[in-house]
Structure 1
Amino acid sequence: MRWKTIRQFLWGEVPSSKLEQRLLLKLDWFILSYCCFMYFTNYLDRANVNNAYVSGMKQELNMQGNDFNKINTIFTCGYIVGMIPNNLMLQVVPPRLWFPSMQIVWGVLTFCSSTVHNVQQLYAIRFFQGISEASTFVGTHYILGSWYKSGELGKRSGIFTSSGLAGTLFSGVLQAAVYQHLEGVGGRSGWRWLFIIDGVITLPIALYGFLVFPDVPSTTKAFYLSEEERALSQDRLDSDVVHHSLSWDLAKRVLSRWRWYGCSLLFAISGETESFGSNNLMGQWLSAIGGYTVEQVDYYPSGVTAFGIASTLVCATWTDYTRARWPVLVYMCFCCTVAAICILVWSSPTGLKFFAYYFAGASYAGQATTFAWANQICADDYQERAIVLASMNMWNNAVNAWWPLLFYPATDAPRFKRGMIAMICTCTATLGVTWLVWYLERREQRLAKRKAMKHETREDSPNPVEIDKPLKDE
């Protein structure tokens, strides 16, 4: 009994049969392996721009003022444009073809990044990379929600999210190694070699996706799944799922419920707590105050990501066991608020600022939990779930397109005073929206339960037509 409890805590809901256990092992191996490798290269590409900026790209491309922030903003605009179309394409084109194809596109564009001669060329490349990379994050969360139960979903979402963070972590280490050993080789700067190596890593993983990705349960033809396992993959999730054809009724269905509004608002706000890491504030701080080598500026911010990975995995494991998602967002807001206060008080010692930036890595824990929560809320409608997941990331990136320019411009380094105040306000707003989503989900569950009880009462009645008629006098 104790072993079963431990296993359930560590890996989610225990399979009910050996067949289901074998199915889960195969899904974990083939789905998670490809999705994690894909997201690893996705975040490796994003983080490499940050690391290239503080490793010579700024000087070589003669970047001025907020050019760095503009690169990220233009990428975000492309990401927003590609978000919903990419997720809807998964309803039309098999995911085993769509995911790797988009990965090849951004891999080729990454190679192109190594050849730019001015920042304007990088702007154009980053816009189209944003469109292609928009397929990965919400698309994978849609796929995970199609294969896994709610009690299995948090941990898998956490592992997937952590793979992207691992890409960020590896990028700093990779850039430092490239700067040490490839700077000037073949007449190329170290930061240019970084993009080349990133592209080389990306393309073989896309080929792996073409070979092993299983699509969704209703259409899978994966060679490693038996007919019995394919049937089980549908039966264990599909009992209450409503299937609709793709039509304009989808917009009416989505916009008439609270789910799209609540979940979109939640991640639009809570996603901005990741600003510490996504804008490499620690790297900019170290570079601005001086006294650190290029290798140290690349290495030291890796601690933010490392703490983010640890927080994500622990929190995802805990939410699958308890089935409660909201406490993770409370934990995340607490950590980011403490970190912002420590940095805001500029007279605080350097060691405390290091601690604050690392502690803020907890913000990444909310990402996996929020999307697992949305998958859980929208589990009864595949198309609504695809739209809600895409919209969550779309609205977060719509905010993120201007948020760093306003609150975290490169010209504010090293203090980022406006940014720290904005972080405290963001955490406060996140707590309010978290309560709202929790309340609306509970209310929907209560109404569904009452409706089901009324339906059962009518079915159990010996004469449903007469049940409400008054008795006649004898």
Structure 2
Amino acid sequence: MAAQLQPIVQDEKSTKTYEEKTELDHVKPGILENADYTGAEAKTDPAEIALVRKIDWRLMPTLCIMYFLNYVDRNAIAQARLNNLEKDLGMSGVQFNIAVSVLFVGYVLMQIPSNMLITRIKPGIYMSSWMLIWAVVSGCTALVQNFGGLVACRFFLGVTEAQFYPGATYMLSIFYTRKEVATRIALLYCAQILATGFSGLIAAGIFAGMDGLNGIAGWRWLFILEGAVTALVAILGLFLLPNTPLTTSWLKPEERELAHARMERDRVGDSSEPVSSMEGLRQACKDKRTWLFCLMQNFHLSACSFNSFFPTVVKTLGFNRTITLVLTCPPFILAGAAGILTGWSSGRMHERTWHITIGLLVAILGFVIAASTLNTAGRYVACFIFPMGAYSVNSVIIGWAASTLSQTKEKKAVVLAMTNCAGQVGYIYGAYLWPDYDEPRYGIGFGASAAFALCSIGCAWVIRVMLIKENRKLRASTTEHVNLYGY
């Protein structure tokens, strides 16, 4: 009875309630690991609950809209292909594949330097400024007259877009605890998934209503209008995005202190002193776990290389251009819902490996079905299955990397960039797995995607075994409360 009546008791090492302490004293070691390892206890303080809700309503909508436009601008080339882009620019052979892949060359080159810099400047202003620049580059794609001009615009679009996603995940990791961040990254990633789906609807509307307007092709209007909207949101982002918990203008002074204190409490490891950007890079490169996360994300995004070719795959169902573009949307709505559910479940259950495994096994099933049949109904069902499985696990992978390798903010920023950078490399060579001569079955692309997904599962289990061993060492090193690694 006394345990039930006791208020929250806090000391320097723990924020557990008296009841939680009493229960944990009698838990077996194996279960205790799973209870402790997320590092973030259940929130019981009304002030903290209100703070997290306030951050959710202020930060998440802004980041999600910005990331939505990030992918709308990037994916516009996939829809433009269905509106005579290649014919108007005199393209042939693998030139479209080159135009798709070159964006990720610029993307990969800029991500790590960008996130090394983001810890030294105001991330909100930094990300919004780059968004304004990529909006201009995206809009300029409407002016290209040949293949060379398209390649140049795509390369610089990659350079200017590279700052956003690793920067956004870094921002989430400094405002949300390890238990909270997976769900928020899932919401952010859902914006990307929905952008991939709704891009088709946006393009269908523009092509139907503006193709040939004022003598301008529909695909050119697509780049003009999407670039203009992106520029407007970028300007708003300069005023809406926060920078750090201690400097957020829309938080009260006591809320800023609480936001900062709870993130310090959530840290794994003892390194809280700031280090140089180069030291953060050294720490990330020296940690073998970094490279395993990079490899896992590379395999995962290689399996997602169908992204820029999804409208082309749906076109094999035999419908006209407008219906094809409309049909690309529903699979990604389902994938977005699956991504949110997976991220929420992973955070609530404090589990990563099985979520990744199940999600990617579902993707493999979809890839196999898609490669095995040309039946219209069967192939379209597969078009729901493989995006749902493949896209559902990204937030889990990124959140896992952020929480495992967050000993210093500089290291965490570099790790997030390295992980995403390694993943984007998969899009560079993945673009060549979908050649025209392999249509309509696209067995090369679907087969390779299934193999990549299986390899990503293997990496997740290697990391799990490694973290279990490290947790045992951490628990053996002290009798006090300690934050353990999640797996």
Q: What residue in structure 1 maps to residue 13 of structure 2? A: none
**Worse-superposed segment, 337-346 or 38-47:** 337-346
| Deviation digits for residues 114-164 of structure 1 (CA, Å, limit 9, x no counterpart) | 111112101111111101111111111111111101121111111111111
| Deviation digits for residues 86-115 of structure 1 (CA, Å, limit 9, x no counterpart) | 111211220121011000001011110111
Is 1:388 the equivalent of 2:418?
no
Corresponding residue to 1:246 among 273, 276, 289: 276
**Worse-superposed segment, 74-83 or 266-275:** 266-275
SS at match of 1:92: coil
In 2, Cα distance between the equivalents of 1:454 and 1:303? 50
SS at match of 2:121: coil
Check the 8 A contact 1:280/1:301 in 2, yes or no: no
Corresponding residue to 1:261 among 285, 291, 306: 291
Check the 8 A contact 2:290/2:405 in 1, yes or no: no
Corresponding residue to 1:102 among 112, 121, 130: 130
In 2, Cα distance between the equivalents of 1:211 and 1:252? 34
1:377 deviates by 0.7
| Deviation digits for residues 336-365 of structure 1 (CA, Å, limit 9, x no counterpart) | 21112212224x522111111111112111
Report the residue type matching 2:55 in the other structure: L
Q: What residue in structure 2 maps to residue 274 of structure 1? A: 304
Q: What residue in structure 2 maps to residue 342 of structure 1? A: 369
1:60 deviates by 1.2
| Deviation digits for residues 54-94 of structure 1 (CA, Å, limit 9, x no counterpart) | 12212211221111111111100000011111111211220
Is 1:170 the equivalent of 2:198?
yes
Q: What residue in structure 1 maps to residue 331 of structure 2? A: 304
Is 1:318 the equivalent of 2:345?
yes
In 1, Cα distance between the equivalents of 2:278 and 2:224? 43
Is 1:57 the equivalent of 2:96?
no
Q: What residue in structure 1 maps to residue 392 of structure 2? A: 365
SS at match of 1:401: helix
Report the residue type matching 2:213 in the other structure: V
In 2, Cα distance between the equivalents of 1:175 and 1:427? 30
1:286 deviates by 4.0
TM-score normalised to structure 1 length = 0.88
**Worse-superposed segment, 192-201 or 253-262:** 253-262
Is 1:419 the equivalent of 2:445?
yes
In 1, Cα distance between the equivalents of 2:468 and 2:79? 44
Report the residue type matching 1:246 in the other structure: S
1:454 deviates by 9.0
Question: Where in structure 2 are the equivalents of 1:19-98 lying within 5 Å?
Answer: 19-98=47-126
SS at match of 1:402: helix
SS at match of 1:242: coil
Check the 8 A contact 2:366/2:386 in 1, yes or no: yes
Question: Where in structure 2 are the equivalents of 1:96-245 lying within 5 Å?
Answer: 96-218=124-246, 220=247, 222-239=248-265, 240=267, 242-245=272-275
Report the residue type matching 1:180 in the other structure: A
Report the residue type matching 1:322 in the other structure: M
| Deviation digits for residues 273-331 of structure 1 (CA, Å, limit 9, x no counterpart) | 2123x1323x2134356x42110121112223122101101111111110101222112
Report the residue type matching 2:286 in the other structure: S
TM-score normalised to structure 2 length = 0.86
Is 1:374 the equivalent of 2:397?
no
Give unpaired runs (5+ residues) of structure 1.
Answer: 1-11, 457-474
In 1, Cα distance between the equivalents of 2:322 and 2:163? 32
In 2, Cα distance between the equivalents of 1:454 and 1:404? 51
Report the residue type matching 1:324 in the other structure: E
Report the residue type matching 2:355 in the other structure: V
Check the 8 A contact 2:281/2:414 in 1, yes or no: no
Give unpaired runs (5+ residues) of structure 2.
Answer: 1-39, 483-487
In 2, Cα distance between the equivalents of 1:24 and 1:393? 26
Question: Where in structure 2 are the equivalents of 1:2-21 lying within 5 Å?
Answer: 15-21=43-49
| Deviation digits for residues 246-267 of structure 1 (CA, Å, limit 9, x no counterpart) | 1543344223322211111110
Q: What residue in structure 1 maps to residue 378 of structure 2? A: 352
Check the 8 A contact 1:243/1:382 in 2, yes or no: no
Check the 8 A contact 2:207/2:219 in 1, yes or no: yes
1:388 deviates by 1.1
In 2, Cα distance between the equivalents of 1:104 and 1:154? 28
SS at match of 1:231: helix
Report the residue type matching 2:101 in the other structure: T
SS at match of 2:84: helix
| Deviation digits for residues 172-223 of structure 1 (CA, Å, limit 9, x no counterpart) | 10110111111111111111111111012111211221112111224x2x32
CA RMSD of aligned residues (A): 2.0
Report the residue type matching 2:231 in the other structure: L
Q: What residue in structure 2 maps to residue 7 of structure 1? A: none
Check the 8 A contact 2:182/2:346 in 1, yes or no: yes
Report the identity percentage: 23
In 2, Cα distance between the equivalents of 1:301 and 1:269? 24
**Worse-superposed segment, 116-125 or 396-405:** 396-405
Corresponding residue to 1:402 among 429, 437, 457: 429
In 1, Cα distance between the equivalents of 2:303 and 2:393? 9
In 1, Cα distance between the equivalents of 2:475 and 2:49? 30
